[in-house]
Structure 1
């Protein structure tokens, strides 16, 4: 099995958290069989060769922890201090933005930003397109200039040796630096590269290319990857990204035509962290779907026919939820949700629905 083959399978099944697969149909069954046949890194399976897709996978990179992320939106009006430079002097980069007042950031968001690598691409034309999967020392931000992509993934520092050993099977490492940060570059092909930065502050970062690159093009982008302070990092957040402060407003939009299961508490959605709109919609509808399935199972066991019908009707109504239709052109989560919801409503809940919907 090649790296690209496994990667496609991982993206199609999309792991929700270690040991769990979101969408367990035929593809997921094959994925489990493949993973069981090859060694994994401690403590989670290595996601080799991440690829960029036109459509997102099922709840792509979804993880249930509250960590602030950042997206680089087109034009930032903040200047960036390049950290770790010998002279320590600020630079005047190409990055500009319509940022909100930095003083308005909550202590929680600032703390989360401090705990992440905080890397941006300081070149005109590069825009962050995806943010997901932030859980403690784990996260992903993908940047694109319209033709090429760079995905930045970070993991706990304790996993560095395992990942690095795996990359040694890809190619001989070439030493490089990213804003003064020591790293190794690996070649998957003449146009496909990965750069692993050494562990720092409890995590390590890997940059992976998408699209067709030359080495000189990649070197030019690497030269303009900068590590910034927390407030500068947060100032790059465009308004469409759902930060903890924006959760209530965005949740109201997502849930406008969505029936809520008994006991559903919208105030708990604040723990979903920072996400792009797609990931936020997936996380919220995941909780709603899981709540209705739990109610269906309760009613079935109790012989409560009225409640059973209400739960089934609510799950069937998901085919009319605006948020899922808005997401459907972008990714696979709505299709996976509907498949599971329809089976439950028909009285045949999948044995592994928790994994399919990412239920707690």
Structure 2
């Protein structure tokens, strides 16, 4: 992957270009506003005050999830952000589970979901296709239905006023309520909307459209957005979403045939929260890769040639990891991972590797 290719990927992924807007889901739009460095007419850039800290956290989590926002040789790469949207299988509506079929969830799953907003679209045809971050105060859940997406991003409440001031540059606000939660609607275009919900329980939520919308459709859908309890939210997630109680089984699949660095604790992966399978795979391989790079650096520093060789061989072997090949059809996280792994094995970590892989 050449630097020219990375530049082209970022340029082509600008979410405010009319020719690509229909191919980007809300999650990609939101993050690209954060990481694309070249200003584009009409593109809104997030407020400067929270960027240093919030962007650093966002790059870290998306480097192991939706993107590999890789700063490699000075180039910002919006790589895995460019994966194709998941195929919408037109599943049954996201409804509350029947009281006659109680489900027992692990304490870890319950605790992770309790800490964050739990919003669902109680309308037929909507399916959760992207989930990330239900272990911290910043995350995403995106729903898809045919050619439309509605993404819900949440952030720490301390950033609300800066985001709100920025959105005032988009359009005048219109008061709205989402399941009695007050907020303001902003209109990016005739078919592109965002709703900022006011801070609550330490976070605020922004709902953002992706795909083909009309104002009438948007108004109808947001009236069906409901805030639910933990059990309802967990029960509404499709089986491919990796919730905390599914981590051990999914981690075993991801780590099959992957050489583990010294001291690697697979049990610690339980703190990843709730993620879709792509994001979970990227988070896990990020931790493995970062740990092998740390071992390479330790061995280099101490003159342990045998350990240095083992770390280099393990990183080179990533070209045979099944999980990365499975992910490669959906996005470019594997390409960024392989590039960094090869550079480390050949001569050492490149500048910016820690941000690119989420090691920092």
TM-score of the two chains, using structure 2 as the length reference: 0.76
Listed one character per residue, the Cα deviations across residues 203-249 of structure 1 (whole Å, up to 9, x for unaligned) are 21111000121100111111111111221112112221112211111
> Partner residue of 1:283?
283
What secondary structure sits across from 2:222 in the alignment?
helix
Corresponding residue number in structure 2 for 1:75: 92
* 1:136-164 alpha-carbon deviations (Å, 9 max, x no partner): 32211011102011000111222211111
Hey, what does 2:308 align to over in structure 1? 308
Q: CA RMSD in A?
A: 3.5
Q: CA 1:46/1:195 → structure 2, altered by over 3 Å: closer, same or farther?
A: farther
CA 1:73 to 1:357, structure 2 compared with 1: closer, same or farther past 3 Å?
farther
Q: Which has the higher helix share?
A: 2
Q: 1:111 to 1:242 in 2, by over 3 A?
A: same
Partner of 1:4: 16
Q: What is the DSSP-based 3-state SS (H/G/I as helix, E as strand, rest coil) of the residue aligned with 2:171?
A: coil
Following superposition, the deviation at residue 115 of structure 1 comes to: 2.5
Partner of 2:108: 108
Determine if contact 1:41/1:163 at 8 Å carries over to the other structure.
no
1:12·1:57 contact (CA, 8 Å) conserved in 2?
Answer: no
> Relative to 1, partners in 2 of residues 1:355 and 1:42: Cα closer, same or farther, differing over 3 Å?
closer
Q: Could you say if the C-alpha distance between residues 45 and 197 of structure 1 is closer, same or farther in structure 2, counting changes exceeding 3 Å?
A: same
CA deviations over 1:25-81 (Å, ceiling 9, x no partner): xx77x69xxxxx99513364689xxxxxxx95328999xxxxxxxxx99336xxxxx
State the alpha-carbon separation in 1 of the partners of residues 55 and 256 from structure 2: 39
**Structure 1 residue 272: deviation in Å?**
1.4
Q: 1:150 to 1:244 in 2, by over 3 A?
A: same
Aligned 1:149-164 pairs, distance under 5 A: 149-164=149-164
2:49 paired with 1:41: yes
5+ unaligned residues in a row in structure 1: which ranges? Answer: 22-26, 32-36, 48-54, 63-71, 77-93
Secondary structure in 2 matching 1:259: coil
Distance (whole Å) between structure 1 residues aligned to residue 46 and residue 261 of structure 2: 41
CA contact (8 A) 1:75 1:98 kept: no
Change (3 A) 1:154 1:268: same
- 8 Å Cα contact 1:73-1:236 kept in structure 2: no
Cα pair 1:73 1:128 within 8 Å, conserved: no
Taking the aligned partners of 1:13 and 1:117, their CA distance within structure 2 comes to 18
Corresponding residue number in structure 1 for 2:123:
123
Decide which moves more: 181-190 or 111-120: 111-120
Summarize the Cα distance change of 1:122–1:246 in structure 2 as closer, same or farther, 3 Å threshold: same
Q: 1:12 Cα shift?
A: 10
Task: Tell which has more relative contact order, 1 or 2 (C-alpha 8 A, sep 6+).
Answer: 2
Shift of 1:334: 0.6
User: Could you tell me how far apart the structure 2 residues matched to 1:101 and 1:336 are?
Assistant: 44
Distance 2:100 2:246 in 1: 12
Q: Tell me, yes or no, if the aligned pair for 1:148 and 1:212 is still in contact at 8 Å.
A: yes
